[in-house]
Chains A and B, each alone.
Chain A
Amino acid sequence: MAAVRVLRRAVRLCRGRAASGARPPPVPQRIEEKRRAALLGGGQARIDAQHKRGKLTARERILLLLDPDSFDEYDMFVEHRCTDFGMDSSKNKDFTVFGGSLSGAHAQKICKIMDQAAMVGAPVIGLNDSGGARIQEGVESLAGYADIFLRNVLCSGVIPQISLIMGPCAGGAVYSPALTDFTFMVKDTSYLFITGPDVVKSVTNEDVTQEQLGGAKTHTAVSGVAHRAFENDIDALLNLREFFNYLPLSNRDPAPVCECHDPSDRLVPELDTIVPSESTKAYDMLDIIHSIVDEREFFEIMPTYARNIVVGFARMNGRTVGIVGNQPKVASGCLDINSSVKGARFVRFCDAFNIPLITFVDVPGFLPGTAQEYGGIIRHGAKLLFAFAEATVPKITVITRKAYGGAYDVMSSKHLRGDVNYAWPTAEVAVMGAKGAVQIIFRGKEANAEEEYVDKFANPFPAAMRGFVDDIIQPSTTRTRICHDLDVLASKSQSSPWKKHANIPL
């Protein structure tokens, strides 16, 4: 693991050493005492209680997250203003201290670290385990939150920000994870909600448990607030270590390249037959992704939310890439509100951090229906369109089968500045499927029209003739082609007109 760096640059503090003989100097001794007390956090009893809940203390968590000897703690000596004692580690809310509730001092420590991180270009990882604002501190605590939010926003797109929710995270505290790039949760022991079950009961009279309201399952499958959930603290931290290696340290760094043992010219013969001959039959886009990327390793983001689109990180010849793919196995791979938003946010992250995008397209279109229209599929679908269009990182697109209608345009098409757009021989780039088209054009009166339409439109030629796809490739060569293209595109530089910032249809 290269550099799990919450922050470095040690604050050099002299180690207290009890002088031999005579009167011990009071200052070193006090340093030692304070340090010892701080290391214990809220005390042994509180540590035991944390363990009993199946959770680790902040220090234990850091021990697991980071490489040995790479953590320098800041501000061990900062004290809470309203009390006489406190300890928190960098951006790591330690639940053993006052239930991890946020104090002014606490916020100050977090801000200090974030400022440093932004300055040197190091990602920020927050391990959240907090009860919310410390009511006793009143407005000072609220101000603390806002200070953190501001930094989350300022750092957004500058350094990757990751939140790992490892306990309750309620009230104002939830907005910090929401502002970061990725939010991960620990199953059964973490919760995220604005207001807890008691308040919900009194306001809306709904009976709901913490788990139902804001548990890992809710946020990874229903709300889409969290990007992934892990079994327990250790599992989560180990996965976080792995995830971290996909990311560049900041927007000034290129996508990282790891040592790779998987040959870039490896052919993938099974892809030649992976798309079923019947165009209505489903297949698993993950099979394609796994077989193409390095060593079949794919770190999927939001695997249980809006499963009709697949997004995640992988490597191609060692280089991190972001992968977006329609999933024919779920809802035929159509685009709907949730999948559009999921895809858009992922595309924007990759673009912000110089991670090339590879898009696998098999999309029959946008999902019709009142639920979608009332829900605003138009503006939500526009987000994905916006994200792909504004992205300036290398963009490679492979149309495996259907690319119908507006969804064809959206999915990283040539027209949205796609760098390399391929079609497999099974590709059908058209305004719509044969059946629908014939119904509209001929009102079902023409008997052979469907066949004719398939012959004329439901194939890759119309798009290839116009240069909208650069080549029709043998599926087994897809890995080779993409690896080569990524090498060529490594020096890609593209800019958009000057603006303060774009106005994505939120």
Chain B
Amino acid sequence: MAVAGFLRWGGRRARLPGWETLCSRWCLITSHKLYSTVYDPNEKTFEKLLIANRGEIACRVIKTCKKMGIKTVAIHSDVDANAVHVKMADEAVCVGPAPTSKSYLNMDAIMEVIRKTRAQAVHPGYGFLSENKEFARRLASEGVTFIGPDTHAIQAMGDKIESKLLAKNAKVNTIPGFDGVVKDADEAVRIAREIGYPVMIKASAGGGGKGMRIAWDDEETREGFRFSSQEAASSFGDDRLLIEKFIDNPRHIEIQVLADKHGNALWLNERECSIQRRNQKVVEEAPSTFLDPETRRAMGEQAVALAKAVKYSSAGTVEFLVDSSKNFYFLEMNTRLQVEHPVTECITGLDLVQEMIRVAKGYPLRHTQADIPINGWAVECRVYAEDPYKSFGLPSIGKLSQYQEPLHVPNVRVDSGIQQGSDISIYYDPMISKLITYGSNRAEALKRMEEALDNYVIRGVAHNISLLREVIIHPRFVQGDISTKFLPEVYPDGFKGHKLTDLERRQLLATAASLYVAEQLRSQRFLGTPRIPIAKSKRSSWELSVHLGDGIYPVAVSKDGSSFSVEVDGMKLNVTSEWNLASPLLSVTIDGTQRTIQRISRNASGETSIQFLGTVYKLQILTKVAAELSKYMPEKAAEDTSSILRSPMPGTVVAVSVKPGDMVSEGQEICVIEAMKMQNSMIAAKTGKVKAVHCKAGDTVGEEDLLVELE
């Protein structure tokens, strides 16, 4: 049966003003699109399925189950008792306290729930127990179907060495290399030439990139050999060296495969996942701008060959590194549904979760390779609760005081498992949602992404919308010139937010000033009983002074019917809007350019923060008089931050290595904070004596909490 044909998208509701909160609830129901896949109600399937996961992926699986007529069981930790996936499922059972080791990874408790609820199958989602062979084995022993590949495939692909060997045997390109004792420099050169330059040389025993040297020619190989063999002997007492092809500026491109238990396997095209930070994907798309049909086919066929070699069934992903000459090398295979699977669903029209469930039930695939289309283009942004200004994203926690997904923008899909009022806690991944846009071509998909990001309301936690928006509009990204080093290359000094052009700055100043005046005007309008008429004349012009960044800009605003005429830098701009001061989203037209802005906050002191082009700008708007007098205001002494150490993010204190009275030197580690899978070493900003320690190992700390004071 053919699945070709464009996707249709779920009927969107026009948003009624003020129904934002309701909308966020609707999202859960309407955010999934209509797949071109057919859900045959007569096809026998599982009666009840348990989802051994939480958050967006649990919700994602439940949606498909609902369409297939399968009853669902959610599991949750006690802090997740009110989570969206719990509400969506037909049944929900608590499996333990917040820490994942005691809840979502607690196999005993989960097995108990399966028995109690008589679930016939388990979908593990991604992460947690999704690639745990022990879990798959225990399920099998109790006759419960694991929605995923066989234990054998999980095990084989879970082992780095074994998977590489298997790949090699299946004629999949692997990174050419040599691992063993190298006699002398000449032999090293011979091996390097065999592999082809550039090569990477390091001691086999050294983990990760430690002691890694890159050689581009024979000379550098000799040098690399000398250093690495010395290091191998002295540091590790192990003479073995690893000489491997060095892949310069690699892209991370992966192939989605789908296989059944009858020996059929398909490749569902690629996903480009090169935009990463700390090896975590941030922006993904399908297809890739880089692959030509031949390369795509070659990669696809190799991926399928590997899947067949391990008798793979279910959906899986074969990851490749691709160099600038389109040579591709096997990296690893993920034996689960990937986070970024929606982009593949968008361009192929398949519902991968449905296919996984069908395969697990034993049905053969309904499609042939020829049925798999590339329809249009899809882009996915991972929206995280994190501060992108700190090493491209440090976790942030808190309550989503306001939350509204941009579902009123056409061709937008949002996979999320949270809603307004949800807590982003330190216990789990800080992902808020996956925002996917779709278009008939890449430019269209990216344009919609821009609009969707501008229309996404997230308040109460820091989020990475600014970074995502900058990435998707960056000329290099737009041209498709990307690699896994994109972020550090484009932002060598860290991400600093959007850089305003002169025109954009004027637009921002004009908008902010107009908002200020609109607010002032509204505050003078009392309904019912009139206030004593005090102003002798009705004001129609305002002279303001706006502080933005390092600059102070005089801005003159005059009311011109329903719009404002604003003078900035000697230029006149016309600003129109409905000026709905309660709506989290404000559509403003500045000299004909439409912008969706968000006023994040305001206060009586004239301070306001406005999200404009994705980035939140802090401004202070004062009348000219107030601004002139503010020069007399005393400078408040800023806290001397060199002698205090504050937590840069919320998390748990893992270790404290100092006590009061200790001398510490600048750069010395003082304590370690763990937050959402990351350990962060906190170091002393100066040399001195420890005055007080305000935390101990095991403490939970909030952002900006005082940890240690120096004298």
Q: Write the residues of chain A forming the contact surface with B, with a CB cutoff of 8 angstroms.
A: 1-5, 8, 51, 53-56, 60, 63-64, 67-70, 120, 122, 188-189, 231-235, 238-239, 241-243, 245, 249, 253-254, 256-263, 265-274, 277, 287, 290-291, 294-296, 318, 476
Contacts and interface: CB of A to CB of B under 8 A. Distances in A.
Contacts of A253: 529
B534 A262 contact: no
Nearest to B602: A297
Contacts of A294: 582
B625 A63 contact: yes
B529 A238 contact: no
A54 B634 contact: yes
B604 A262 contact: no
Given A54-B632, A55-B632, A271-B421, A258 B532 contact: no
Contacts of A262: 18, 582
A277 B81 CA distance: 9
A253 B532 CA distance: 11
B604 A273 contact: no
B17 to A, nearest CB: 7
B708 to A, nearest CB: 25
B531 A231 contact: no
A64 B629 contact: yes
Contacts of A188: 634, 636
Contacts of B606: 238
Nearest to A121: B532
Contact of A238 (B22, B536, B604, B634): B604
Interface residues of B, number: 51
Interface in B601-626: 604-606, 622-623, 625-626
Contacts of A271: 421
B419 interface: yes
A189 B632 CA distance: 13
Contacts of B582: 260-263, 294-295
A269 B400 CA distance: 12
A2 B634 contact: no
B420 A270 contact: yes
B161 interface: no
B635 to A, nearest CB: 9
A111 B422 CA distance: 55
Given A262-B18, A287-B399, 4 more contacts: A63-B629, A232-B633, A257-B527, A270-B421
A54 B633 contact: yes
Interface of B: 17-22, 24-25, 81-82, 399-401, 419-422, 520, 522-529, 531-537, 539, 580-583, 604-606, 622-623, 625-626, 629-630, 632-634, 636
A234 B629 contact: yes
Given A60-B629, A63-B625, A291 B401 contact: yes
A234 B630 contact: yes
Given A69-B537, A233-B633, A266-B18, A257 B421 contact: no
A280 to B, nearest CB: 13
Contact of A231 (B19, B81, B520, B605): B605
24 contacts: A2-B523, A3-B531, A3-B533, A8-B532, A54-B633, A56-B632, A64-B625, A188-B634, A188-B636, A189-B634, A239-B605, A242-B523, A242-B604, A249-B531, A257-B526, A257-B527, A258-B527, A259-B527, A262-B582, A263-B17, A263-B19, A266-B20, A272-B421, A274-B421
Contacts of B605: 231, 234-235, 238-239
Nearest to A122: B532
A2 B524 contact: yes
A67 B535 contact: yes
Contacts of B535: 67-70
Nearest to A268: B21
Nearest to A273: B82
Given A260-B582, A295-B582, A269 B527 contact: no
A241 B604 CA distance: 8
B21 A269 contact: yes
B18 A265 contact: yes
B20 to A, nearest CB: 8
B636 A269 contact: no
B22 A269 contact: yes
A290 B422 CA distance: 16
Contacts of A267: 19, 21-22
A504 to B, nearest CB: 29
Contacts of B534: 2-5, 8, 67, 70
A261 B580 contact: yes
A2 B526 contact: yes
A241 to B, nearest CB: 7
B17, B401, B633 interface centre (most CB from chain A within 10 Å) = B633
Contacts of A64: 623, 625-626, 629
